[in-house]
Copies of this chain bind each other. A is one copy, B any other.
Amino acid sequence: MLKFTKRTAKKAGTAPGTLVHVGEKKTDQIHITVTDYDIDHVVEESIVAVEESFRSKETATKTWINIDGIHDVDMIRKIGHQFTIHPLILEDIVNSGQRPKAEEFDNYVYFVFKMLYYDEAQQEIRSEQISLILGALFLFSFQEMKGDVFDVVRERIRQGKGRIRKAGCDYLAYALIDAVVDHYFLILEKLGEKIEGIEEALLDEPRPDTVQQIHEMKRELIYMRKQIWPFREMINNIQKGEYNLVEDATMIFFKDVYDHCIQVIDTIESYRDVLSGMLDLYLSTISNRMNEVMKVLTIIATIFIPLSFLAGVYGMNFEFMPELHWKWGYFVLWATMFGIIIAMLTYFKRKKWL
């Protein structure tokens, strides 16, 4: 449950703009990679001190600085100082419980959103906060830990395929966001498969833990929607052209991402509807089974209880019980009993219980 509220007590009450890392520390070592590129060349390097990347501020080439690990508040403060980033933004970068949003300032736009991945071991969706600071010629990207979701973009820059080297940093921001959204589809597929598995189990042989699985799946979808809904708003604002740093030519690409976001949300809603339907199906299956169990009991009891009563009657020890002395009494009783059985079965047949 706690993943729904990441902001923790240690943060409450501090002055706004105070840099305190909030969230789980997901990596020990901070990795900084600087990719400096324009249409003709690419230089990639791994650096240790973030200051090394600041000289790129003067060059006319585009620079992408990717930082894995957000717990080093000193480093963040240095970047903030160098690029005159608003203290509240710096605070947001190091606090991993942000709601996805975009905020524009004079010289940069800040984007924060969630990378989602499916943790197979825990069987749940986990999120990693990604912050982007988009300037005219630079783009900072902050991840909570080293991941491979941006590798496809890095590869495209290296190979110079498509428009990525030609276009500006806004296009690079788009490419990174697009990679994240593409990843959402992978999660949806994973969830879709799981839902299908649960559904098959449900139709085949519903077990008590099926409901629990449905419940957990619903919770994962609630969580996912909670992350993606504001993200959609953010992309919508971009594609409506609210931010000057995003060029017109890039807008159509953000529109494309926006369509994908809507598709993700549509699918989440459809999944939730389907899961609700499955719960109804489960409950009615349980009711049906109960009905079946009860019918068996009722049929058996209703047939044999009267017969046992008859047997009991002729097991009594009254001195004067004329039937006991009839020659065919025993056989007449059996005949009567069979008559009762047949009458009962006919009755149940007519009630459609058999």
Residues in B whose Cβ lies below 8 Å from that of A199: 1
Q: Can you list, as one digit per residue, whether each of A271-284 has a CB less than 8 Å from chain B (1) or not (0)?
A: 10110011111111
Q: Evaluate contact between A162 and B192: CB separation under 8 angstroms.
A: no
Residues in B whose Cβ lies below 8 Å from that of A335: none
Q: Evaluate contact between A15 and B88: CB separation under 8 angstroms.
A: no
CA distance A305 to B318 in the complex (A): 20
Q: Evaluate contact between A164 and B15: CB separation under 8 angstroms.
A: yes
Q: Evaluate contact between A281 and B215: CB separation under 8 angstroms.
A: yes
CA distance A188 to B252 in the complex (A): 35
Chain A residues numbered 317-342 whose CB sits less than 8 Å from any CB in chain B:
317-321, 323-325, 327-330, 333
Q: Cβ of A147 < 8 Å from any Cβ of B?
A: no
Q: Which of A54-62, A65-73, A76-84, A205-213 contacts B (4 or more CB under 8 A)?
A: A205-213
Chain A residues numbered 288-340 whose CB sits less than 8 Å from any CB in chain B:
288-291, 293-298, 300-302, 304-309, 311-321, 323-325, 327-330, 333
Most chain B CB within 10 A, of A186, A199, A255, A296, is at: A296
The copy count of this chain in the complex is 5
Q: Evaluate contact between B277 and A218: CB separation under 8 angstroms.
A: yes
CA distance A314 to B285 in the complex (A): 42
Q: Evaluate contact between B215 and A270: CB separation under 8 angstroms.
A: no
Q: Evaluate contact between B280 and A291: CB separation under 8 angstroms.
A: no
Q: Cβ of A9 < 8 Å from any Cβ of B?
A: yes
Q: Evaluate contact between A301 and B305: CB separation under 8 angstroms.
A: yes
Q: Evaluate contact between A317 and B316: CB separation under 8 angstroms.
A: yes
Residues in B whose Cβ lies below 8 Å from that of A267: 4-5, 226
Q: Cβ of A178 < 8 Å from any Cβ of B?
A: yes
Rounded to whole Å, the gap between the CB of A10 and the closest CB of chain B is: 11
Q: Can you list, as one digit per residue, whether each of A1-18 has a CB less than 8 Å from chain B (1) or not (0)?
A: 110110111011111111
Residues in B whose Cβ lies below 8 Å from that of A1: 192-193, 195-196, 199, 271, 274
Interface size of A by CB at 8 A reads: 119
Which one, B222, B319, B353, contacts A293 given CB within 8 A? B353
Which one, B5, B287, B293, contacts A192 given CB within 8 A? B5
Q: Cβ of A75 < 8 Å from any Cβ of B?
A: no
Q: Which of A34-42, A136-144, A256-264 contacts B (4 or more CB under 8 A)?
A: A256-264
Which one, B16, B189, B256, contacts A178 given CB within 8 A? B16
CA distance A250 to B280 in the complex (A): 46
Q: Cβ of A354 < 8 Å from any Cβ of B?
A: no
CA distance A212 to B9 in the complex (A): 28
Q: Evaluate contact between B314 and A316: CB separation under 8 angstroms.
A: yes
Residues in B whose Cβ lies below 8 Å from that of A330: 316, 318, 320-321
Q: Evaluate contact between A161 and B15: CB separation under 8 angstroms.
A: yes
Interchain residue pairs with CB less than 8 A apart (6): A1-B195, A12-B182, A16-B178, A17-B162, A223-B270, A318-B333
For the complex of A and B, list the 3 residue pairs with the smallest distance between their C-beta atoms, beginning with the closest. A311-B312, A13-B152, A15-B162
